[in-house]
Amino acid sequence: MCASGDTIRNIMLAAHRQGMTNGDYAFFNIELFNSSSYGNGSWRRGDKHDLEAKKAYSYLQTVTLLRTVKPEFEKFSLEVKSSVQKQGLHEDDYANMFVEGFHDAILLYALALQEVLKIGFSKKDGEKIVQQTRNRTYEGIAGPVSIDANGDRYGDFSVIGMTDPEAGTQEVIGDYFGKEGRFEIRPNVKYPWSHGRLRLDDSRVSEHTNNTPCKSSGGLGESAVTGIVVGALLGAGLLMAFYFFRKKYRITIERRTQQEDCNMGKHRQLREDSIRSHFSAA
């Protein structure tokens, strides 16, 4: 799921009332804004549904951006907050992923420009500057930033889960490091799916009984490929229907125009004949 906090809460409440929070299902939410309020218990609203929400959220895992606790980042956050408030704005999360990303992008440009100037090029050599931004790792405002050969940033993410269902405490339970492609469980945290809370239904696990290698679908599941094919067929059908409708509609318009032109011509001829007859009589 990827939606606002209130929408996620409503979905989890509905799932809980449908009996889907008993261990048969796991729910994942994507929250890339790294809001500081989430870890304090976003299920809590102070209303009559808090108890239900707390139980429902015990099966919700939230994927968010990895944020390290660095003194530089804390100082940066305070400076951003002060600057925003001077403009008369008040937001819940001042130093979100966009602000952090802009900071690290400017820093990357400055590092690349400095290196290009050292080897004798100028600030107008954009291609050289772009080359210096790729395949490198540098220290950003919140931690190490790694850029691949295409100029894309490797994503580092954290997973937040409820480690204490009684108190409703939510903590980071693990981190994914994009450059290394590894996921690490954080030490000294209670994994939310331990003690048999999440069950695996063996009847839903299918095994291949033959030795025929599966055809690759480019990393897409069977249902995804089917959806793409069906969508393509529907799109083609709609385009064909639109084409024939437009063609028929154009033919109808042309026929109607020709008929109107013909009627106007006859009407004009009748008027001219009538005028001639009147002049002849005069």
% of residues, the chain, pLDDT over 70: 61
Residue 175 main-chain phi, psi, to 5 deg: -135, 145
Of 198 and 257, the structure prediction assigns the larger pLDDT to: 257
Of 170 and 219, the structure prediction assigns the larger pLDDT to: 170
C-alpha 59: how far from chain center = 22
The yes-or-no verdict on residue 97 having pLDDT over 80 is: no
- Give pTM, 2 decimals: 0.59
| E strands, the chain, in order | 27-30, 60-65, 136-139, 144-147, 156-164, 169-177, 182-185
Strands 169-177 and 156-164: antiparallel
Give me 75's structure tokens: 């100082």
Q: Burial letters for 33-53: b for 16+ Cβ neighbours within 10 Å, e otherwise?
A: ebeeebbebbbeeeeeeeebb
Distance CA 3, CA 27 (A): 13
Checking phi first, is residue 88 left (phi over 0); if not, alpha (psi -120 to 50) or beta? left
Residues 6+ apart with CB under 8 A from 135: 147, 148, 149
Distance CA 46, CA 80 (A): 30
* pLDDT value for 230: 56
Strand partners, 137: 146
pLDDT-derived band at 24 (thresholds 50, 70, 90) equals confident
Distance CA 175, CA 185 (A): 7
Helix (H) or strand (E) holding 66: none
Distance CA 70, CA 145 (A): 14
For 205-239, write each residue's pLDDT tens digit: 444 444 444 444 444 455 555 556 556 666 666 66
Of 266 and 104, the structure prediction assigns the larger pLDDT to: 104
The yes-or-no verdict on residue 275 having pLDDT over 70 is: no
* pLDDT value for 249: 56
Closest alpha carbon to 155 in 176, 178, 183, 133: 178
